[in-house]
Structure 1
């Protein structure tokens, strides 16, 4: 569409000695034609993988019915585009058919990490979910809770609570029928 600019018009890249993957980079325009690459290093999780004692009630719910916790996480991570019930039901179906709910839930861990720039620790997302599904779900639940989400009320109620839903316009009132 547009001819490429010669390499000499781009600012030289600075070497930091720290390898940066493409998932950790974002582009911010610094002028009409040039773009610079900034690196945002992933931060740590607010709690460890096995720190389930912070929220014993969620730990028990996740142990006996992980589809509930997963549904709550999925609704927040998807920003309300999927409901808690639909995500939880799909998780339960996958768990019932394959016996491995981690096939579905590991993708939500990746989405959560990308949204909040969290480290991929202690290992790969799918491996964390395959080896310790309940601990991974509990950690994700605690992370969202510590970021200010009330996990019980869902995405839309959280947005209203934070004041994002107050800017709605009210339609004008309808007057009574025709009059002479």
Structure 2
């Protein structure tokens, strides 16, 4: 008499976190110290790297330095675009104020948001059994 052993493993559960808020506050720059230092010491380079990861032209943020010393249009519209993409609540007025007065913090916040939201799948309930 032979017996069959049927083992069925639990299927992985995909946890997808959607939020209509930023993952971090604008002044949480020190949550990621290497990123914060990079943005502090060389903001134009940091902006170019971040916008490239976002899928735009590498030199796009340099337009801010050439066109407008006061209100940076590329920073403001990139923040607006990211809010639209991720479904984050906010207003164009708030984007304008943040981009004008907290420019490096805005770029750090956007980089942290991309880094946080790029995590695709989280496996939950992974069980291991020895069948010996």
Q: TM-score, normalised on structure 1?
A: 0.49
1:104 matched to which residue of 2?
Answer: 74
Q: Where do 5+ consecutive residues of structure 1 fail to align?
A: 1-41, 150-180
1:83 matches 2:57: yes
- The TM-score with structure 2 as length reference comes to 0.64
Alignment of 1:45-84 (within 5 A): 45-77=22-54, 80=55, 82-84=56-58
**C-alpha separation in 2, matches of 1:147 and 1:47:** 12
User: Cα distance, 1:97 vs. partner?
Assistant: 5.5
The size of the alignment, in residue pairs, is 101
> Structure 1 residues 108, 70: closer, same or farther in 2, change over 3 A?
same
TM-superposition CA deviations, 1:112-136 (whole Å, max 9, x none): 0000001217x61111111111111
Give the deviation of 1:72 after TM superposition. Answer: 2.7
Secondary structure, counterpart of 2:39 in structure 1: helix
1:76 and 1:101 map into 2 onto residues whose CA distance is 23
| Cα distance change on mapping 1:93 and 1:107 into 2, 3 Å | closer
1:110 Cα deviation from its structure 2 partner:
0.2
Counterparts of 1:93 and 1:45, CA distance in 2 = 25
Q: Which has the larger radius of gyration?
A: 1
Give structure 2 stretches of 5+ with no counterpart: 1-18, 120-132
Greater relative contact order: 1 or 2 (C-alpha under 8 angstroms, separation 6 or more)? 2
- The alignment yields a C-alpha RMSD, in angstroms, of 2.5
User: Which secondary structure state, in structure 1, belongs to the residue aligned with residue 81 of structure 2?
Assistant: helix
Are the equivalent residues in 2 in contact too, given 1:92–1:101 (CA < 8 A)?
no
